[in-house]
Amino acid sequence: MSRIPATFERLTRTGRKALIPFFSVGDPSLPLCVPIMHAMVAGGADIIELGIPFSDPMADGPTIQRSSGRALKNGVTLRDVLKSAAQFRHEDGTTPVVLMGYANPIEQMGRERFASQCAEAGVDGVLVVDYPPDEARDLGKLLGARGVDSIFLLSPTSTESRIKEIAALATGYIYYVSLRGVTGASHIDPQDVAHHIARIKAVSKVPVGVGFGIRDGTTARQLAEVADAIVIGSRIVEEIEASPINDVPANVGALINRFRQAMDA
Amino acid sequence: MKIYDMPDLEGHFGPYGGTFVSETLIAAIDELKAQYLHYRDDPKFQAEFAYELKHYVGRPSPIYHARRLSGFLKGAQIYLKREDLNHTGAHKINNTVGQAMLARRMGKQRIIAETGAGQHGVASATVAARYGMECVVYMGSEDIKRQAQNVYRMKLLGARVVPVESGSKTLKDALNEAMRDWVTNVQNTFYIIGTVAGPHPYPMMVRDFNSVVGRECLAQMLEMAGQQPDVVLACVGGGSNAMGIFHSYIPDESVRLVGVEAGGEGIATGHHAASLSAGSPGVLHGNRTYLLQDSNGQIIETHSISAGLDYPGVGPEHAWLKDTHRAEYVAINDDEALHAFHTLCRMEGIIPALESSHALAQAMKMAPAMDKDKILLVNLSGRGDKDMATVAEYSGITF
């Protein structure tokens, strides 16, 4: 069993919602990855999503594209991502870590080897943007057998039958994409999100998080009323871009803390 | 004759193809698949498509026996399938007419497309004008520099050309950007993919719309030469013109199929775009296929003199034809393609596209070693007017 269910149970007991920050491993540098993760936890993050850099991030907007590009320029590979996760796990035994990325780096490592290395590194969940369940049933089984959750996306265009299909397969949590578009877009409609989350929660046995385009504490707070978790990505990457490199962990931690305060207020 | 009915219902060609896309696109792809399967079997749709191909595109395109070139090479006879004579100057229009007809029936008023050499962009802008639709074309900023004339043609036709500055600023990045647009505007937008790649049903659909090329050849070759060719050759970037001419010939195993990739400065230099000759399987742009990538699964930058072949992947059906040995894939370098380009200009009065010049170069390599009664059929997929600036630059000429 991964650390994700226990995390949500603890949050439920205290009446809080999960705050899930995302950033790319290797942005701004590989040595800063683990310090950023610790700063996120100190700032109030409950689960951390680590981006696996990819040369062709089709579902991402310009901000995360740039982030992925900087990480690749720093020579970061999927192996480095797993190493960073393992190092963090060595120092933090409780905060769940989820890897998020695209299929091809995993295809090259091999699905079985990837699943084993995730388990060894203490990774709790995996979200592969371009592995819909039909194309990756074996990966779900390989991960599940090793206690690693398969996180899936649902979107505003997902049909009723699709929601049921994904809900039956998802472990850990479901990630609801809050808008039609790529990461970092900014036309989120909280009422529309609430409507879709209710549809998903009606059939899902796992918690439902929401992400894509959440840029401020007010929106996070609004959405936390209907969702079990809030995912923040592009806004964090912007903070990384705007900070002098040595200040990145502290500034990101402070940003997370502002979201935390807003969500808990 | 063997029956050939690939892909399967999920769009798989053996281990290749499939639907590797984000959940945000699944509903759109399911809708497209359902609509295409419906209209593919609709006689009214097919009748309209045939009418458009005849009266708007100018089909059938002729086959031309290149007698001077064949005589010069002292070997096999070279025949050219003249897709360069189509409206807009390449085979790309076959597919854009089909997809635009589908878009209209699906009630989509906005067309988006990616383009490399600009031929698919021009063909998309053309059908958008023809049907009164809005058209946005994504094009890598590097390609915009290489293909300034085609950019202007698209603008003349009323399209908006959006420069793509991400990644290597070429075709693959334009495809990424078009996918991002589609995800964002999926309700009113139809994405016309220009090659036999992308998530299912695109590889099958684009092949089907282009397969008119091979069907015409079956009849025309019998009429002209009393026999089918011994070898069919076509250039392969994404592989749409090659699938178009290969498809009808796949069941007839007496016909050799040769796909010609862009060898760039030579495979050994690493500066090329020959995914089948020098790549390995992986997942990109919605399908599993051969890719040019590093050992960590990152897509690497490609090089070719021809923007239309400058792509690090290839249609999944070609991957399948390679693995099953039904087709052979070879690479032709920039220099060889240029030599073939100049030879055809001077010997037959035909200016071929640099893309098609790769297929021609391979035919010119093979012909001398073959008997004079053998036939090589080359898909002359496009005309070279768009390549004037590139060829002049390579020849050290400035206008």
Q: Work out whether the CA dihedral A189, A193, A194, A196 comes out positive or negative.
A: positive
Taking only the tens place, the pLDDT of each residue in B95-121 is 999 999 999 999 999 999 999 889 899
Enumerate the residues of chain A whose CB falls inside 8 A of the CB of residue B176: 56-58
H or E element that contains A12: helix A4-13
Which residue is associated with the tokens 């296929």?
B289
Which residue in chain A has the smallest CA separation from B21? A130
Domains defined for chain B, CATH in brackets: 13-53+92-206 (3.40.50.1100), 59-89+211-394 (3.40.50.1100)
Residue A187 has pLDDT above 80, yes or no: no
Taking only the tens place, the pLDDT of each residue in B106-162 is 999 999 999 988 989 999 999 999 999 999 999 999 889 878 889 999 999 999 999
- What's the structural domain count of chain A? 1
Which residue in chain B has the smallest CA separation from A151? B23
Sheet architecture: strand order including B189-192: B160-164, B134-140, B110-115, B189-192
Task: Say if residues B192 and B103 touch (Cβ distance below 8 Å).
Answer: yes
Query: In this predicted structure, which of A6-10, A180-184, A231-235, B18-22 has the lowest mean pLDDT?
Result: A180-184
pLDDT score of B55? 98
A59 to B22: CB separation less than 8 angstroms, yes or no: yes
CA atoms within 13 A on the CB side of A108: 22
Enumerate the residues of chain B whose CB falls inside 8 A of the CB of residue A109: 297
Taking only the tens place, the pLDDT of each residue in A10-49 is 999 999 999 999 999 999 999 999 999 999 999 999 999 9
A103 to B180: CB separation less than 8 angstroms, yes or no: no
Q: Report the mean per-residue pLDDT for chain A.
A: 96
Residue of A9, A27, A46, A49 with catalytic role: A49
Which of A79, A108, A180 lies closest to B186 in CB terms?
A180
Taking only the tens place, the pLDDT of each residue in B340-371 is 999 999 999 999 999 999 999 999 999 999 99
pLDDT score of B1? 64
pLDDT score of B181? 95
pLDDT score of B370? 98
Say whether A126 sits in a helix, a strand or coil: strand
The whole domain housing A124 covers 4-264
Residue B165 has pLDDT above 80, yes or no: yes
A75 CB burial (10 A radius; 0-12, 13-18, 19+): exposed
pLDDT score of A180? 81
Please list the active-site residues of B: 92, 114, 381
Task: Say if residues A175 and A127 touch (Cβ distance below 8 Å).
Answer: yes
Type of residue found at B141: S
In the structure, what pLDDT confidence band is assigned to residue B2 with cuts at 50, 70 and 90? Answer: confident
B163 touches chain A (CB under 8 A): no
ipTM over 0.90: yes
Q: Give the count of Cβ contacts less than 8 A between chain A and B.
A: 115
The rounded percent of chain A whose pLDDT value lies above 70 is 100
A131 touches chain B (CB under 8 A): yes
Min Cα separation A14/chain B (Å) = 32
Q: Report the mean per-residue pLDDT for chain B.
A: 96
Q: Of B204, B184, B233, B266, whose CA–CA distance to B355 is shortest? A: B233
Chain A, 106-125: which have a CB under 8 Å from a chain B CB? 106-109
My answer on whether omega of the bond before A244 falls inside 30° of 0, hence cis, is no
Min Cα separation A202/chain B (Å) = 19
Burial A129-143 (b: 16+ CB within 10 A, else e): bbbbbebbeebbebb
Which of A58, A62, A77 lies closest to B296 in CB terms?
A77
Residue A185 has pLDDT above 90, yes or no: no
Which of B179, B288, B295 lies closest to A58 in CB terms?
B179
In chain A, what is the straight-line distance between the N-terminal and C-terminal CA atoms, in Å? 32
Taking only the tens place, the pLDDT of each residue in B262-304 is 999 999 999 999 999 999 999 999 999 999 999 999 999 999 9
Residue A243 has pLDDT above 70, yes or no: yes
Q: Which residues contact B284 (CB under 8 A, 6 or more apart)?
A: A56, A104, B172, B291, B299, B312, B313
pLDDT score of B189? 97
Say whether B168 sits in a helix, a strand or coil: coil
Which of A131, A157, A185 lies closest to B20 in CB terms?
A131
B23 to A79: CB separation less than 8 angstroms, yes or no: no
Q: What CATH number has the domain bearing residue A202?
A: 3.20.20.70
Taking only the tens place, the pLDDT of each residue in B39-70 is 999 999 999 999 999 999 999 999 999 999 99
State both tokens at B199: 């998530």
Q: pTM surpassing 0.90?
A: yes
Residue A228 falls in the annotated catalytic set = no
Between these two residues, B142 and B324, which has the higher pLDDT value? B324
Query: CA-to-CA distance for B304 and B263, rounded, in angstroms?
Result: 7
In the structure, what pLDDT confidence band is assigned to residue B80 with cuts at 50, 70 and 90? Answer: very high
A108 to B296: CB separation less than 8 angstroms, yes or no: yes
Which residue in chain A has the smallest CA separation from B287? A130
Min Cα separation B198/chain A (Å) = 12
Task: Compute the average pLDDT of residues B221-231.
Answer: 98
- Interface probe for A, chosen from B21, B22, B275 (most Cβ of A below 10 Å), is B22
Task: Say if residues A20 and A46 touch (Cβ distance below 8 Å).
Answer: yes
Task: Compute the average pLDDT of residues B317-344.
Answer: 98
Say whether B334 sits in a helix, a strand or coil: helix
A81 touches chain B (CB under 8 A): no
Query: CA-to-CA distance for B190 and B202, rounded, in angstroms?
Result: 12
Residue by residue, DSSP assigns B208-230 as HHHTHHHHHHHHHHHHHHSS--S
